[in-house]
């Protein structure tokens, strides 16, 4: 099973890299045949990532989301499928290019993490693990899309302010389409993240007997949740649109990455206090 897992991981890196390269070729050359190949490769990558997580589940005996390596792969998987499901309903010009870059980057980052299996203590072997951690990180997939849309929005807005109606202007979606993408993905991401927070609180109660343990991951999760709540409130109550909304989602996503890097990598587990 370990050998199969390693082979799948290597193939995922290869297929994801080829998909990213295909999207980049399309971005610069605008060859639709290359874009179609890139899409098929990304779908293949998503299927392979799913198979890898299943084999990892059999290997470790629990949901593979407890180590830095597993977290990055799960993050890439959630972003891949968030984009693939999003793409069925919405089509944004060249959006796949920046998303595929992010997915491939997450997988490359996972290369620098140990693939060693983390043995969970009995108190953490609970159904809350796949429910809480899975939903939380799947929410990151939609927040990843919002981040990619935010980056594209800021780049396009800068080009428009400088009256540069050339290369980027022709290849990026409209500002209005990117703003709608931001709104859609932030709303879904916030909803999923909220469910992740609530299930995490229930898990804490089961494990420690209280609803707040004061771990670093808990603290930063609440920081991220309030940042998302602020964005949703400002968008739907105050009417925030455009650059401010795009900039805020980019900053929030950077905080998410720093949280995963600082807490997950430095502590060696998903929760600094728990694993």
Checking if the pLDDT of 272 tops 50, the result is: no
Given 3-state DSSP classes, what are the helix, strand and coil percentages for the chain, each rounded to the nearest 5? 80, 0, 20
Q: How many domains does the chain have?
A: 1
| 188: in domain | yes
Checking if the pLDDT of 33 tops 70, the result is: yes
Q: Give the pLDDT of residue 200.
A: 84
Separation CA 70–CA 115 (nearest Å): 8
What does the angle CA 97 – CA 100 – CA 105 come to, to the nearest 5 degrees? Answer: 125
Separation CA 210–CA 207 (nearest Å): 8
| 272: in domain | no
Confidence of residue 204 (pLDDT cuts 50, 70, 90): confident
Query: For residue 17, what are its two tokens?
Result: 């890299």
Average pLDDT on 114-125 reads: 73
Decide: 218 and 212 in contact? Cβ < 8 Å. yes
116, 78, 48, 40: CA torsion to nearest 10: -150
Confidence of residue 211 (pLDDT cuts 50, 70, 90): low
Q: What is the pTM of this model?
A: 0.87
Checking if the pLDDT of 14 tops 90, the result is: yes
SS3 9: helix
Most confident of 1-10, 242-251, 262-271: 242-251
Checking if the pLDDT of 42 tops 70, the result is: yes
| 274: in domain | no
Among 88, 19, 16, 24, which Cα is nearest to 49's? 16
| 34: in domain | yes
Residues near 69 by beta carbon (within 8 Å), at least 6 away in sequence: 110, 113, 114, 115
Domain enclosing residue 122, as ranges: 2-267
| 273: in domain | no
Instruction: Count the alpha carbons within 13 Å of 100 in the hemisphere toward its beta carbon.
Output: 30
Confidence of residue 244 (pLDDT cuts 50, 70, 90): confident
| Length of the chain measured in residues | 275
């Amino acid at each position: 099973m370990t050998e199969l897992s390693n082979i799948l991981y290597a193939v995922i890196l290869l297929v994801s890299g080829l998909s990213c390269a295909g999207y980049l070729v399309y971005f610069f050359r605008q060859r639709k045949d290359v874009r179609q190949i890139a899409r098929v490769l990304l779908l293949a990558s998503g299927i392979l990532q799913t198979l890898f997580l299943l084999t990892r589940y059999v290997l470790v005996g629990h949901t593979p989301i407890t180590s830095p390596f597993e977290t990055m792969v799960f993050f890439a998987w959630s972003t891949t499928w968030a984009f693939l499901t999003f793409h069925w309903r919405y089509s944004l010009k060249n959006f796949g290019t920046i998303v595929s870059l992010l997915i491939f980057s997450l997988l490359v980052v996972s290369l620098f993490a140990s693939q060693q299996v983390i043995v969970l203590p009995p108190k953490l072997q609970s159904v809350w693990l796949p429910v809480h951690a899975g939903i939380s990180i799947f929410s990151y997939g939609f927040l990843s899309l919002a981040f990619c849309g935010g980056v594209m929005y800021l780049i396009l807005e800068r080009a428009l302010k400088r009256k540069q109606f050339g290369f980027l202007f022709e290849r990026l979606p409209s500002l209005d389409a990117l703003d709608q993408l931001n709104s859609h993905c932030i709303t879904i991401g916030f909803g999923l993240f909220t469910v992740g927070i609530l299930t995490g609180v229930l898990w804490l109660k089961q494990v420690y007997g209280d609803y707040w343990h004061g771990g670093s991951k808990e603290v930063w999760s609440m920081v991220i949740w309030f940042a998302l709540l602020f964005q949703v409130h400002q968008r739907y109550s105050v009417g925030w649109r455009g650059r401010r909304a795009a900039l805020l989602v980019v900053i929030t996503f950077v905080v998410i990455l720093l949280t995963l890097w600082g807490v997950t990598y430095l502590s060696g587990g998903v929760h600094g206090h728990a694993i």
